[in-house]
Amino acid sequence: MPNAKMHFLLTEPQWSAWCSAFYESPQNRLAQNVCTARDPINVCLRSEAELCSLVQGNKTWHEVDTQGKGTTGGPGWICTGLDLLRQEMDRKFPLPSDFEFSAAHLFFWHKLERCNYFLWTVADLLMQCEPLDGRCFRHFMKNAVPDGGNWQMFVNLVKKYGVMPKKCYLSTQRSRKMNTMLRSKLREYASKLHAQFTFNGNGDRLPKLIPKMIQSLFKLLSICLGEPPETFSWTFYDHKKRYHSLKKLTSVHFYEVMVACTVDLDAFVCLGHDPRISSIPQSNYQVTHSSNMMGGEPHRYNNQSIEVIMQIIVDSLAGDKPVWLGCDLSSILSTKSGPLSLQSHTFDLIFGIKVGDCLSKAERLIYKESRRDTAILLTSVGLDSMKEPVEFRTISAIAVGQSESTGSLHENDDKNKKNDEEKLKKKSAKKQAIKMEADWLREYAFEIVVHEKFVPPGVLHAARMPKYKELPAWDPMGAFLK
């Protein structure tokens, strides 16, 4: 019948029979005792020794000549981008072994630019008569001022605000409460812009209201984070113990002299892997509302098969160039130790059912089971006797298994009274290299950023084409990276 509804009411005889069948199995009772006392996912985790033994055989390693440790003190996508710049910069200049860029510097300007982008986008949506209960407006209100970002947001920030050494601007203030205040004010301002637009019937007065709003948000940011210095001095000993002193620098000048001469950000190509039927291979896609500044470029990628992506990664690492990787580390299959593997857990042994490996990569995207959520930097690859990739390794500002807020400026509990410097050292000590099997990467890698010289001519030509298809802001391929 056209209007018939399917019903399956749970009744006492049904669940009573299920309960009896459950307790008839000694294995079920044992699993219940263990999982009620321990984390059920960790209970199913194979030992690190067993995980390492799954990847057997001799491997030929191609490793990028990395220097120093992973950048800390900011969101992972900013830290990973700065790691990429630092590895290139270190080839030309004798940097000290403990040198880091200031992630907090870019984080400050990201927040301010995103606030400005939010208000002007709200005004634009009002002018387009976008309904307040429409999906676009609701998504934008929900993601008003995120800590997360993407590769193009990073490029936008570096090109406009430059970079500086970490020791010249080290902000360790908490950002969670600041974000709460920022979101509250931005939604308040969105309400005022809507009221003004409704009162006038047009948006003529909106541009006059926004500058004062931004000024108050700049004040809030400066109080919580401390404004980055306009000029700074940098003194250091290089790896040969030679003393250097640079004075009256600006972050833009520092970038142009120390970084831009060795790293051309425009020479990097963003390639994605979206296996959904709706996504066409070798086509360009652009995500709406994926920028963090007015006049900045939005997030765009060229869709390629995973085989092409894997070969480009191998070629880049073999050519001594690291690769930015956007992947899913929030998956239930992520591990706290050992390599990331599709065989890391034995759910069927504990629960008698398979968990996490029954959907294809495309299905996981469609049903919101997976999405790109973390940026890491690949630095080495192990090849088997057939020259096929078996294992990858990385340096990263994100440690596997940490919470969603990991990578943001320090957000420790208020009860923690330790000195800020001690906190920073403690968090830095937690950063560790990540190992991942090639099969895991094929399933959970969604995006790479790589130098154009390692991209095949046909792929590079397709990626440089100005024509693109637009994706909505809530598409999983446009999710912000932690």
Torsions phi, psi for 382 (to 5 deg) = -105, 125
d(CA 103, CA 366): 34
Strand partners, 380: 63, 393
d(CA 448, CA 314): 12
Residue 352: C-alpha distances to residues 41, 243, 339, 348, 367 (Å)? 14, 64, 24, 4, 23
| Domain membership flag for residue 45 | no
- Looking at the structure of the chain, the number of domains it has is 1
Domain containing 440: what range? 60-412+421-478
Residue 203 is assigned to a structural domain of this protein: yes
pLDDT (tens place) for every residue of the chain, 482 residues total: 566 677 778 888 898 999 999 999 999 999 999 999 988 988 888 877 776 666 666 788 888 887 777 888 889 999 999 999 988 887 777 778 788 899 999 999 999 999 999 999 999 999 988 899 889 999 989 989 999 999 999 999 999 999 999 999 987 667 888 999 999 999 999 999 999 988 887 778 889 999 999 999 999 999 999 999 999 998 888 777 888 888 889 999 999 988 898 889 999 999 999 999 999 999 999 999 999 999 999 999 999 999 999 999 999 999 999 999 999 988 766 656 678 888 888 898 899 898 888 899 999 999 999 988 999 999 999 998 889 999 999 875 444 433 333 333 333 334 443 444 444 444 443 456 888 899 999 999 999 999 999 999 999 999 999 999 999 999 999 999 98
Separation of alpha carbons 214 and 50, rounded Å: 55
* Residue 55 pLDDT: 62
Q: pLDDT at position 335, please?
A: 59
Strand 268-272, strand 300-303: pairing: parallel
DSSP for 133-146 reads TSHHHHHHHHTSS-
End-to-end CA separation in angstroms for the chain: 48
Phi, psi torsion values for 333, nearest 5 degrees: -90, 0
> Would 198 be classed as within a structural domain?
yes
What is the C-alpha to C-alpha distance for residues 229 and 238, in angstroms, rounded to an integer? Answer: 24
Q: In terms of Cα–Cα distance, which of 125, 287, 289, 123 is closest to 214?
A: 123
Distance, CA of 141 to CA of 179 (rounded, Å): 13
Cβ within 8 Å of residue 123, ≥6 positions away: 193, 197, 203, 206, 207, 210
Place of tokens 């006059």: 208
Confidence at residue 2, expressed as pLDDT on a 0 to 100 scale: 60
Rounded to an integer, what distance in angstroms lies between the CA atom of residue 104 and that of residue 96?
20
Closest CA to 196 of 212, 182, 211, 209: 209
SS3 445: strand
Nearest to 124 by CA among 194, 54, 199: 194
What is the per-residue pLDDT for 398? 47
Residue 255 to residues 80, 106, 231, 293, 300, Cα–Cα distance (Å): 17, 12, 13, 19, 24
pLDDT at residue 478 in the model: 92
Alpha-carbon gap, residue 185 to 182, rounded angstroms: 5
In CATH, what number is assigned to the domain containing residue 195?
Answer: 3.90.70.10
DSSP 101: B
Please tell me whether residue 27 adopts helix, strand or coil conformation: helix
Q: Which region holds residue 320: left if phi is over 0, alpha if psi is between -120 and 50, else beta?
A: left
- Alpha-carbon radius of gyration of the chain: 25
Give every CB contact of residue 337 below 8 A, 6+ residues apart in sequence: 48
Q: Does 31 reside within a domain? A: no
- d(CA 448, CA 284) in angstroms, rounded, equals 14
- Its pTM stands at 0.88
**In a domain? residue 280:** yes
> Which pair of structure tokens corresponds to residue 10?
């749970």
Q: CA dihedral in degrees (444, 449, 450, 456; nearest 10)?
A: 80
| 431 SS3 class | coil
On whether residue 33 sits in a domain, the answer given is no
Residue 38 counted as domain residue? no
Q: Is 59 helix (H, G, I), strand (E, B) or coil?
A: coil
CA distance 66 to 320: 9
Spatial neighbors of 256 by CB under 8 A, at least 6 apart, are: 162
The verdict on residue 47 lying in a domain is no
